[in-house]
Each structure stands twice: as C-alpha cells, then as structure tokens.
Amino acid sequence: MEGGKRGEEAGPSSGGGSSSASASASGVVGDQRQEKQKEMSEKPSQVCGVVEEGDEEEEEVDVKDEGVVDGFVPGPLLSLKEQIEKDKDDDSLRRWKEKLLGCLENDLNGQMEPEVKFHSIAIISDEFGEKTTPLPVDENRSGHALFALREGSRYRFKLTFTVLHNIVSGLTYSNTVWKGGLQVDQNKGMLGTFAPQREPYVHTLDEEITPCGVLARGTYSARLKFEDDDNRCHMELKYSFEIKRAAR
C-alpha cells in the first residue's frame, strides 16, 4: 500500500505511460482496501454470532437447571417438637420459630402428621345472608340439602378450621357437582400453608354463580374435598343443594 502511494505521488511528473500504470496500481490498491474494509466489517458480526450462540447455550443450561429445581425432594418430615428444639440454643431463632409455628405446649407430643379439623361451613349469599352448618355433619344427614338458591345467584363458602400437631403445606380444595348422575361442574383452588395455632382459621373460598335457565333448575349433588401436598385428605363433605326459578 505504501508503494502505491509513492506511485501516485510520482504520477504527475511522469509521462503518459507512467500515469496509466500508476492509475492501474492505484485501482488495485483501492480494490484491496475495499476488500480489507469489507472483511473488517464482517468480523464483528461473526464475533457477535459466536456470543449469541454462547448465550443460547447458557439459556439451555438454565432451563436444565430449572428442571433440577422442579425435581427437588424436600427433607424428612419433622415433628413440631423437633422443629422447635432443633435450634433451642439460639434464643432469637427459637422465639421466631415459636411465633411462626404457633407453638402450643399441649401439642408438642412428637406427632409427625398434621391434622386439619374443620369446625363449620357457611354459605354467604345476598339472598339470605350467611347460613352456617356445624362440622362434621351427622352421617344420617350426609348428602342433605346444604342450601337453596335462585338461578344466577352469587355465593361463597366460608370455612372455619384448626390445624394441629404440625404445619400443613399446600392445602387445596375441589368442589365437584353432579346433576342426574352427570358431572356438570368442578372448581379447584388453593387455601395455602398453615401452622398450628390456638385460634381457628377462617377462610372464604372463591365466589361462584348458580347457572340459569329451565334446565339448570333442580337438585344437585356435590362433594367438597380438602387435601394437602402429600395427598392427605383432611375432609370430604358430600352435600346437595337446590336451584330455584329466579324471582320476577
């Protein structure tokens, strides 16, 4: 490239032949310079391509890592007493655990399995306010009519329950409804995780709406079931209800 420059500088003082030779050399140098610039402009995009491939590999690794987390196996179940006594030398941690776990002196019996004891179920509706039924329901009244509502009515279940012996994790509910032997509806939801405590918990389920129309009227049978993360069934309530014609 330097030789080309000297040729160009000498061009004006030379003859015609020298001028055309210099012009030819200058053209070659210009072409070489353009090729160099083109290569340089392509290299950054190639480098970026390598980086992007690396990012994709890292993203794939992250996805695999997430799969490992999904397959995480929790540690062994400890009784409430063991959880309290595990760090008894640390006063601050012990007090925090007692507050979190709702420490009950008469419940530190070493029992591993949590127990959820349901006290009552209530139906809340604009039609009649709140109607409460004590639990458990007498076996002779199992499947009895829990409530009667007009079509298109909004209502909610309210539950009162106590947790005993240990923490109950991931308490869920399912409410399945049948009419004439055919399943017509099913709702599922999460209540949460609860620690033992002296005072009962009060939890209201999601709002539901009764169906409308001539075919929707009549008597339904239903089953309300509560389970935890370990598939322990804490209550299964069979009941029935009636949907009446809407007021005109």
Scan for tokens 């007009």, then name that residue: 150
Q: What is the pLDDT of residue 196?
A: 85
**pLDDT at residue 53 in the model:** 42
Q: How confident is the model at residue 88 (pLDDT cuts 50, 70, 90)?
A: low
* Domain boundary, last residue among 55, 82, 111: 111
Task: Look at 106-115, 216-225, 235-244 and tell me which has the smallest mean pLDDT.
Answer: 106-115
Residue 213 sits in a domain whose CATH number is 2.70.50.30
Q: What is the pLDDT of residue 138?
A: 76
Residue 195 has pLDDT above 90, yes or no: no
Q: How confident is the model at residue 132 (pLDDT cuts 50, 70, 90)?
A: very high
Task: Kindly tell me if the per-residue pLDDT of 21 is higher than 90.
Answer: no
Tell me if residue 196 falls in helix, strand or coil.
coil
The pLDDT value given to residue 19? 46
Task: Say whether both 83 and 144 belong to one domain.
Answer: no
Asked if residue 189 and residue 126 are part of one domain, the reply reads: yes
> Is residue 173 a contact partner of residue 234, using CB atoms and an 8 Å limit?
no
On whether both 88 and 105 belong to a single domain, the answer is: yes
Q: What is the mean pLDDT of residues 94-114?
A: 62
Q: Are residues 230 and 123 in the same domain?
A: yes
Residue matched to tokens 């007692």: 98
Residues 56 and 101 in one domain: no
Instruction: Look up the domain containing 145 and give its range.
Output: 113-244
In a shared domain, residues 222 and 146: yes
Last residue of a domain, one of 56, 83, 111: 111
Q: Please, what is the Cα angle at 56 between 50 and 59, to 5 degrees?
A: 145
CA distances from 44 to 32, 49, 54, 184 (A): 19, 8, 15, 62
Instruction: Give the whole-angstrom CA distance, residue 76 versus residue 159.
Output: 30
Note whether 118 and 103 are same-domain residues: no
Domain boundary among 44, 70, 96: 70
127 with 197, same domain: the answer is yes
Q: What is the pLDDT of residues 165-190, one digit of tens each?
A: 888 999 999 999 999 999 999 999 99
Q: Are residues 57 and 149 in the same domain?
A: no
**Is residue 241's pLDDT more than 90?**
yes
Q: What's the domain count of the chain? A: 3
Report the predicted TM-score, pTM, of the whole model to 2 decimal places. Answer: 0.60
Helix (H) or strand (E) holding 198: none
Q: Are residues 201 and 83 in the same domain?
A: no
Q: Identify whether residues 53 and 85 lie together within a single domain.
A: no
Residues 195, 152, single domain; the answer is yes
pLDDT value of residue 96: 66
